[in-house]
Every structure is written in structure tokens, then in C-alpha cells.
Structure 1
């Protein structure tokens, strides 16, 4: 259900979304105006149990597509990491929704 919320948010903003699977998988490859902009993993919480799967799938997609923007959306976690020289952002999804919301942008003083 969390992945569906991420999909719906990006789709509502007019982005094209694709799924990536070779050895690992990445939940979303985000395209804007025909250009790939971001690789996204969506999981409610990044834990010791799922960390390897989530990160390796994201790294594989970023390397294969030569994308420099990789994000793992969670419910609460906020962290930056560099793995194999590649920067990965871990962000709470609600923060992204609010930060980029046209309604919130209009309310800024």
C-alpha cells in the first residue's frame, strides 16, 4: 500500500513511472518530460532485515541507468549515505509531499 501511495503522488504530478528488475529490483524509475530523473525505493521502514535488498536494488538501477538521484522513501527515517561512491537519500515520504505541494508553496509567507 505504501508503494501505491508513492506511485499515486508521482503520477498525479504528471511523471512517468517504470519498474526496474534485472538481478535486484527498484520500485520506480521516475521520468519527467521523457528524461529519467530519479530512482526510488519505497518501504515503510529501512531495517537490518530489508536494508540489503532495498539498497542493492536501488544501486543496481542507478548504475544501469546512470541516474545520480536515488531515494528510499520511508515513513519516518531521514539519512544520507554513500555506498560504492553513490549517494543515497533516505527520506520520510510525508516530508516530500509537503515540501513539494503546490498548496503549501502558496501558503509560504
Structure 2
């Protein structure tokens, strides 16, 4: 998929489990490239994505790499650290928003 007909688009996913793998397959069928950030070297989504950034969810270098390769970013699950999403949102569209994820994580 292209943005304005001139650039291939990569969708980023924070989390590399089975839901991330299904997301990657669906995105690829629609013509998108995919990038996954996940600490597991053999994460299900990382194994099928064009880019697998193997690092912790809060690693600044990993977050920067994801923001460099992905034009938009989402999460695979609700326990991705909200501050990491807020950092990514400084340079890329992120959904759900960090504030929404923080609310979902407040289970008190």
C-alpha cells in the first residue's frame, strides 16, 4: 500500500503474539508491510513480519527503530506500557492512544 502513490506503507505492532500474527497476515493481504516490536526472538508475529525488532517494549532505541520503519502503530494487547505508546505518538499515529491504554490497565 502506498501513501499518496509514492511510498510503501509499513504498519507497526507493539506485541508479537498470535493476535499480532493475525494482524500481520491481514495487513499483508491488503498490501501493507509490517513491523513488530517484541522481546521474544521467536514471537509468532515477528516470524511473519517484514521487520522484527527484538527488544523490550520500553527500549528507547527499539521504539525509535519502530517509528523509523512504521508509518502508523497499534498494539496487540492492552498491557503494552502506555509511556512507550506516548513516546511513539510524538512522531507517529498510534491507536489506541496511550491514555486509553493507561485507563484499560487500571484494574483497581
TM-score normalised by the chain length of structure 2: 0.37
With structure 1 as the length reference, what TM-score do the two structures score?
0.37
Q: Which has the larger radius of gyration?
A: 1
